[in-house]
Amino acid sequence: MTLIYYLCDYFNIFNALTKPDFDIRLMSTIAHEKYEAVIGLEVHAQLLTKSKAFASVAAQYGEAPNTQVTPLCLGHPGTLPVVNENLVRYIIKMGLATNCSVAPVSIFARKNYFYPDLPKGYQISQFDTPICFDGFIDIELEDYNKRIGLTRIHMEEDAGKSIHDQDPYNTLVDLNRAGTPLIEIVSEPDIRTPQEAYAYLTKIKQIVQYLEICDGNMEEGSLRCDANVSVRPRGREKFGTRTELKNMNSFRNVERAIEFEIFRQIELIEEGGEVVQQTRLWDTSKNQTRVMRSKEEAHDYRYFPEPDLPPIIVTDELLSKIREELPELADVRQKRFVEEYKMSEVDAITLTEDRYLADYFEEVTGYAGNAKSASNIVLSEVLRILNEKSIDISEFSVSAKRLAELVQLKDDDKINSSAMQEVFNTMLNNEKSAEELAKEMNLIQVSDSGFIESIVDEIIKNNPDEVQRYKEGKKQLMGFFVGQAMKASKGQANPKLVTEMVRKKLEG
């Protein structure tokens, strides 16, 4: 038994190492036999407030450099910060949606460090009194569900941006981002696999999108994730030394970076080395992590209470008001879809994964009056296009109303399913209504009973053998008759009516 185990192990490793494109998934699976990874994530979400965290200037992206800047953002003496009310409301929403306790009193703190894109010389953040703490997020994986603890969620402001690749001799600084509001969500070290980390991030994205407090786009940097990773021999309680991974700009990259890092640490330990606490950068082109700096300690930042801002007081009234404003979140919506629209749990999960996809589906259902047909077309055709084009439902070209018209054509038996698909494909690049297109494309089914009767009579006349056998009990021949009718009518006869007509004629 042991021998077989070792042989398998040997060949797995052999395969993994000789593969041209490295397959860390395989390698880490093997290594997982002996070791267990411990992972904690720090996620920054950029809030969708109109103005900055402490200054009354717009916080939108994409403007010309250094145009969204006030003396406060530049760190001029004599300027004073004022808290953006929505920063507080949004973070409380997030806290409530993730089962956190909300501190009745919390304060801001200065995190001091020098950087050219930080004119003040400190970031306003929260240190030992985060406004939200002790929460959890439930994640679903293929074969199990798991609860991931949240240590804290706190408020902070972003720094500006240093641009190193536009001028060959200088670094440019854009301060538009300086002072935009962020929340940092810190997980407990409860995550054990890269897949769990991926599921956790997906859930965070879903929650912030449902709450409409952040657009959740990791590629564009509105969600950012640092991953703390350590490994320990299975069964040991004490955590190993962790490294912190940065610079992953997609969910997949977070998963890959953690996978790589777990393997790197296990290899290092197996070779007799020791993991050093450090910050490492994920290099997308090389698919590996590399050292950025050795770990800084909290005391290096000389945190101290921000003297220019009063404590944040959260009254019970404010709390219950915000609680009332919370939208229906994905988990609840999913259960409602199963009950209200009688759909499978899998379909409900897919439809509610993205808030706006769920909204779209409900809109189509509202217009078409048939949830079953609406969910069918959204789950198959619409999702297929979104995947093919890598776009969100907000960028999808067919409005819910136009799609509902297509659904109704099919439900009213005016077109068949293959025609529905053809019309759908044409609608993607066309403003015409489903009915207009179906007519133009000659796809409208004929339901005129006189027309259908004449076709069926003709078929009965021309196929006496089949008619005889049908009458003797060979009912499978119905398919043959319908096929003939479709052929005779060039696909336009309504097959349901043909079936009824054949039955009427042959069974009396």
Where does this chain bind ligand ADP (CB under 6 A)? 38-42, 186-189, 228-230, 239, 242, 244, 298
Residue 127 region by backbone torsions, left for phi larger than 0, else alpha for psi between -120 and 50, else beta = alpha
The b/e string for 22-46 (b: 16+ C-beta within 10 A; e otherwise) is eebebbbebbbeebbbbbbbbbbbb
Distance separating alpha carbons of residues 499 and 452, to the nearest angstrom: 10
Strand partners, 282: 289
Nearer to ligand ADP, 209 or 228 (CB): 228
Minimum CB distance to ligand ADP, residue 65 (Å): 30
Q: Looking at beta carbons only, is 47 or 231 nearer to ligand ADP?
A: 231
DSSP state of 446: B
- Output phi, psi for 278, to 5 deg: -160, 165
What is the smallest separation between the CB atom of 303 and ligand ADP, expressed in angstroms? 10
Least separation, in Å, of the C-beta of 140 and ligand ADP? Answer: 21
Tokens for 179?
């002072």
Output 81 or 189, the one with its CB closest to ligand ADP.
189
Residue whose CB is less far from ligand ADP, 149 or 311: 149
Query: In what helix (H) or strand (E) does residue 345 lie, and over which residues does it extend?
Result: helix 345-352
Q: What angle do CA 44, 386, 445 make, to 5 degrees?
A: 155
* Residue 278 CB, nearest approach to ligand ADP (Å): 12
Q: Which is nearer to ligand ADP, 156 or 362 (CB)?
A: 156
- Minimum CB distance to ligand ADP smaller for 23 or for 188: 188
Give dist(CA 230, CA 248) in Å, integer. Answer: 18
Cβ–Cβ < 8 Å for 74, 119: yes
- Write out the two tokens for 167: 């001028």
CB of 187 to ligand ADP, least distance (A): 5
CA distances 479 to 347, 470, 495, 498, Å, are 31, 11, 10, 10
Query: Whose Cβ is closer to ligand ADP: residue 52's or residue 280's?
Result: 280
Which CB atom, from 265 or from 494, has the smaller least distance to ligand ADP? 265
- Residues 257 and 251: their CA atoms lie apart, in Å, by 10
- Minimum distance, C-beta of residue 300 to ligand ADP, in the bound complex (Å): 10
Q: How far is the CB of 212 from ligand ADP (least distance, A)?
A: 26
Nearest Cα residue to 270 out of 33, 40, 39, 38:
33
HSE-CB at 280 with a 13 A cutoff on CA atoms is 28
- The answer to whether residues 446 and 489 touch, using CB atoms and an 8 Å cutoff, is yes
For residue 110, the minimal CB distance to ligand ADP (Å) is 15
Cα 323 from Cα 94, distance rounded (Å): 10
CB of 151 to ligand ADP, least distance (A): 6
C-beta of 139: minimal distance to ligand ADP in Å? 15
- Ranked by CB distance to ligand ADP, the top (closest) residue is 40
CB-based burial of residue 270 (10 Å sphere; 0-12 exposed, 13-18 middle, 19+ buried)? exposed
Residue found under tokens 């490994």: 231
Using the minimum distance from each CB to ligand ADP, give the nearer residue, 36 or 347.
36
Question: Looking at the DSSP assignment, which residues form a beta bridge with residue 240?
Answer: none
Tell me whether residue 182 or residue 420 sits nearer to ligand ADP (CB atom). Answer: 182
Give least dist CB 345 to ligand ADP, A: 31
- The closest of 266, 213, 223 to 248, measured between CA atoms, is 223
Give CA–CA dist 452/442, Å, rounded: 17
Identity of the residue, 38 or 374, whose beta carbon is nearer to ligand ADP in the bound complex: 38
What is the CA angle 383-387-388, rounded to 5?
A: 115
